[in-house]
Amino acid sequence: MNKTLTPRPGPGILDIAKYVPGDSGASASGPIYKLSSNETPLGASPKAISAFKSAAGTLNLYPDGGASRLREAIAAFYGLNPDHIVCGSGSDEILSLLAQAYLRAGDEAVISRHGFLMYEICARANGARPVFAAETDLTASVDHLLEALSDKTRMVFLANPNNPTGTYLPFDEVRRLHGALPDDVVLVLDAAYAEYVRRNDYEAGIELVANTANVVMTRTFSKIYGLAGLRLGWAYCPENIAAVLNRVRGPFNVSAPAIAAGVAALEDRGFTEQAVEHNARWLDWLRSEITALGLRVTPSAGNFLLIHFPDEPGRGAADADAFLSARGLILRRLENYRLPHCLRTSVGTDAANHALVDALRAFLAG
């Protein structure tokens, strides 16, 4: 036996930088405000929590592998065909399955320069090469995405709105992007923040999926619905892509408590409306207060805000992060998104938002 051999992963896998999740705790003495992962500050709907608890009585049983109740609830909510919906353990799983099904070694996946990190991970995990397209004002650029295409391109990932920048593409731009793609390239529209968007020119992608054979829209229960810990997402797909995802996914990839809580969360429209209201009010407030302090922020359509810091010793993003962490305010550093001079903050509770602005004021004064 040759003792110098070790198991080797597939091509590309060791090129994946380890994912650094949003920090969850500081060594501060007072309250901790976790603003690093775009979670809702409002928790989950009490109805979803109660449905989750009720599912505890039947944990010995496998879930419905087709997640039929949930797919039907989603279909009814949005007016979709349930056969074209595939649920997953978070939309992250759906992204992974799409990459696993449609990308192989030597292929290319086109990603916007500051696009969501999962896309690069998904591409590399399958030996495909991520090709990054330049942005304009931290916004995805259809022209640059199209310039990045080659005959090896098999997939284009677009988060709309994008995390961590918060910027979005008006839907006529998304349609223009799709119109210029070859029919055998999959366009993945990640609409994780769609529920928060209040813009007349925005669409999540439902119509485009319905009328094409190569567009997938992914959605999540992790953000507005406050079920990030449960891991629940879904995709709306053309028939051919749904058939592929249903072949590669695990037969029980969504848990019974997740199905139950997801259905209840969807039904609690009042709770969702309050969450949208809370976000709109405080996103606006944070933008204007932080701008008034003399810091630049990027206009956001999501539930988070990108704050820019000067590239000066003692005044930069890393300095601000240390100052804020010591006061219990956990924001997200963005070096791995090529945004070293920025911090991303989620919209928090009333108290968290005030604490953040007060701490930023103190940081700038110090």
Ligand X SMILES: *Cc1c(COP(=O)(O)O)cnc(C)c1O
Q: Which is nearer to ligand X, 255 or 363 (CB)?
A: 255
Residues 254, 298 contacting (CB under 8 angstroms): no
Site string for ligand X, 140-169 (x = CB under 6 A): -------------------x---x------
What minimum distance in Å lies between the beta carbon of 366 and ligand X? Answer: 32
Number of H helices, E strands in the chain: 12, 15
Span interacting with ligand X, options 85-93, 180-188, 260-268, 275-283, rule CB under 6 A? 85-93
What minimum distance in Å lies between the beta carbon of 90 and ligand X? Answer: 3
Contacts of 244 (CB under 8 A, 6+ apart): 101, 102
Find the residue with minimal CB distance to ligand X: 90
**122: Cα within 13 Å, side-chain hemisphere:** 26
Q: What are phi and psi of 98, to 5 degrees?
A: -60, -45
What minimum distance in Å lies between the beta carbon of 181 and ligand X? Answer: 20
Q: Which is nearer to ligand X, 128 or 194 (CB)?
A: 194
Q: What is the DSSP string of 24-93?
A: ---S-SS--EE-SS---TT-S-HHHHHHHHHGGGGTTSPP-TT-HHHHHHHHHHHT--GGGEEEESHHHH
Indicate whether 233 belongs to the interface with ligand X (CB under 6 A). yes
Span interacting with ligand X, options 98-106, 218-226, 320-328, 337-345, rule CB under 6 A? 218-226
Contacts of 267 (CB under 8 A, 6+ apart): 47, 73
How many residues touch ligand X (CB under 6 A)?
Answer: 14
Site string for ligand X, 297-326 (x = CB under 6 A): ------------------------------
Q: What are phi and psi of 96, to 5 degrees?
A: -60, -45
Q: What is the strand order of the sheet 296-298 is part of?
A: 296-298, 304-308, 342-346, 332-333
What minimum distance in Å lies between the beta carbon of 248 and ligand X? Answer: 17
Q: Which is nearer to ligand X, 63 or 233 (CB)?
A: 233
What minimum distance in Å lies between the beta carbon of 67 and ligand X? Answer: 14
* Angle, helix 256-267 to helix 68-78, in steps of 10 degrees: 20
The two beta strands, 153-159 and 135-136, are unpaired
What minimum distance in Å lies between the beta carbon of 163 and ligand X? Answer: 3
Residues 24, 329 contacting (CB under 8 angstroms): no
- How big is the chain, counted in residues? 366
Site string for ligand X, 107-126 (x = CB under 6 A): ---------x----------
**168: Cα within 13 Å, side-chain hemisphere:** 28
What minimum distance in Å lies between the beta carbon of 82 and ligand X? Answer: 19
Residues 81, 282 contacting (CB under 8 angstroms): no
Span interacting with ligand X, options 40-48, 149-157, 222-230, 277-285, rule CB under 6 A? 222-230
Query: Which of 220, 255, 303, 325 is the binder for ligand X (CB under 6 A)?
Result: 220
Query: What tokens were used for 296?
Result: 């630049």
Q: Which is nearer to ligand X, 42 or 228 (CB)?
A: 228
Indicate whether 41 belongs to the interface with ligand X (CB under 6 A). no
Q: Which residues within the stretch 177-216 sit at the binding site for ligand X (CB under 6 A)?
A: 190, 192
Q: Which is nearer to ligand X, 234 or 309 (CB)?
A: 234
Indicate whether 268 belongs to the interface with ligand X (CB under 6 A). no
Indicate whether 38 belongs to the interface with ligand X (CB under 6 A). yes
Q: Which residues bind ligand X (CB under 6 A)?
A: 38, 90-92, 116, 159, 163, 190, 192, 220, 222-223, 228, 233
